[in-house]
Amino acid sequence: MRLIPIRILGICLAAAGLAACAPTGPARKAEPAVPQCQAAAAGDAMVGNWLSVASQRGVAGALRTLYTLNPDGTMVYVQQIKRPRAPSQGLHESGCWHREGTALVLRTILSNGSPVNLDDPIYTNRYEVQRADATTLRMQGVDGTVDARRMSPGYRLPF
């Protein structure tokens, strides 16, 4: 039986020790802090489900948007295009909402279940509220006027 020379054994042990100390992958960046939603003021008329059905020039079919604004400051924004003889296509975003004076601000945190780049301004939408009562919500956004009607709690867009 042949013995392994001590020098070779020492080199192998030193290499194994260094390998154990080496980083296992690229350094991870710190994840940006996810915004904490702030509860709405008690009795805020904006709380609830709001459905907007609109047509857009150049788009065949109806564009349905359901805004669900919860009292705890969380929101869900579901947009669906319903076209004749074609399956519906949609977008499902969730995050936080709050009011800044007369403006409604929607801040998306997840889009179709995936985290978004919180620094990208496309995920923050601002609407100037022109009317919000028991049945009607009218607001002005960068893409025009949104007219929505209040829906019952738990309402969901049909497939």
Average pLDDT, the chain: 83
Residue 39 forms part of a structural domain: no
Domain count, the chain: 1
Residue 159 forms part of a structural domain: no
Residue 29 forms part of a structural domain: no
Please give the model's pTM, rounded to 2 decimal places: 0.75
pLDDT over 70 at 29, yes or no: no
Q: Specify the CATH number for the domain of residue 84.
A: 2.40.128.280
Alpha helices (runs of H) in the chain, residue ranges in sequence order:
6-21
What range does the domain containing 128 cover? 48-151
pLDDT of residue 2: 47
pLDDT over 60 at 107, yes or no: yes
Q: Are 103 and 127 in contact (CB under 8 A)?
A: yes
Handedness of CA 43, 47, 53, 56 (dihedral sign): positive
Residue 36 forms part of a structural domain: no
User: Which single residue is written with the structure tokens 């709690």?
Assistant: 153
Residue 55 forms part of a structural domain: yes
pLDDT of residue 24: 55
Which residues fall within 8 angstroms of residue 22, CB to CB, at 6 or more apart?
none
Residue 62 forms part of a structural domain: yes
What is the band of 109 on the pLDDT scale with cuts at 50, 70, 90? Answer: very high
Length of the chain, in residues = 159
Tens digit of each residue's pLDDT (9 = 90 or more) over 116-137: 999 999 999 999 999 999 999 9
| Phi then psi dihedrals of residue 75, to 5 deg | -145, 155
